[in-house]
Amino acid sequence: MASTATNSILESMKEVPSMKENLKKAFEDLQSFSPSLLRLPFQWNDIDNHFSSIERSINLRISHLKPDAEALNTLLTTSPKDLASLKEDLASALASSSDPAKLVLESVRAFNALEGEAGRSEKCKMAYVYLLEVLLAEIAPSVREGARGLAVDWKRRVGEDATTVLDVHLFLRFLAAFELAPAFDAEEVMELLTRMARKRKAVGLCRELGLGDRMPGP
């Protein structure tokens, strides 16, 4: 019964973006109808932030009740504007799972399966970077093997011209989280690291990937 109710809530949550858009239009129409007579003590951003806070709270609770990839992805794709505040929520969600590494793998796999850029905004990509950063659980051999298979296919796409710096960062963070760097050519991994814009991030990742000895000197 609880699972059915949770699934029902998840389905209903998918309608929230369109409902918010309709509410925004109604709010703007109301303001334009009589701007001199109607001076509201708040702006649309205040309403939007309030709804986003409620939505995030609901998604976090669902991720605890139903710790699976669908619930986790919902939490990630409705993350707050301040992505740094998402880390604590993600760590809490993973703690509710019996196999955090498997959950993260399934979540990242689903994200990678999305066609085009729909649902793959820079904000979402950064949210997944944070997800991989908070994965500290032990990784079962079968899960690591599944991650390796995903990484092999993923790497082919990372080499494409349209790949952004954040795409590279996300891929390398995935390798680090699942300890997969030894499965790839070290020179190729180092080449990807050089494409990262923020040197400090690249240096930290280089060490986590076990390639610290290949870092150029100062």
Encoded tokens for 78: 């409705």
pLDDT at 70: 78
- Rounded Cα gap, residues 59 and 49, in angstroms: 15
Largest CA distance in the chain: 69
Could you give the residue ranges of the DSSP H alpha helices within 66-121? 69-77, 86-95, 100-112
**Upper half-sphere CA count for residue 174 (Cβ side, 13 Å):** 34
pLDDT at 80: 55
- Rounded Cα gap, residues 49 and 200, in angstroms: 32
Q: Looking at residue 7, what DSSP letter applies?
A: H
pLDDT at 144: 96
In the chain (218 residues long), the average pLDDT of successive 10-residue segments reads 54 70 79 63 74 65 64 73 74 86 94 71 88 92 96 86 82 96 92 78 87 67
pLDDT at 1: 43
pLDDT at 36: 58
- Rounded Cα gap, residues 198 and 195, in angstroms: 9
Which residues lie below 8 Å from residue 168, measured CB to CB, with a gap of 6+? Answer: 158, 192, 195, 196
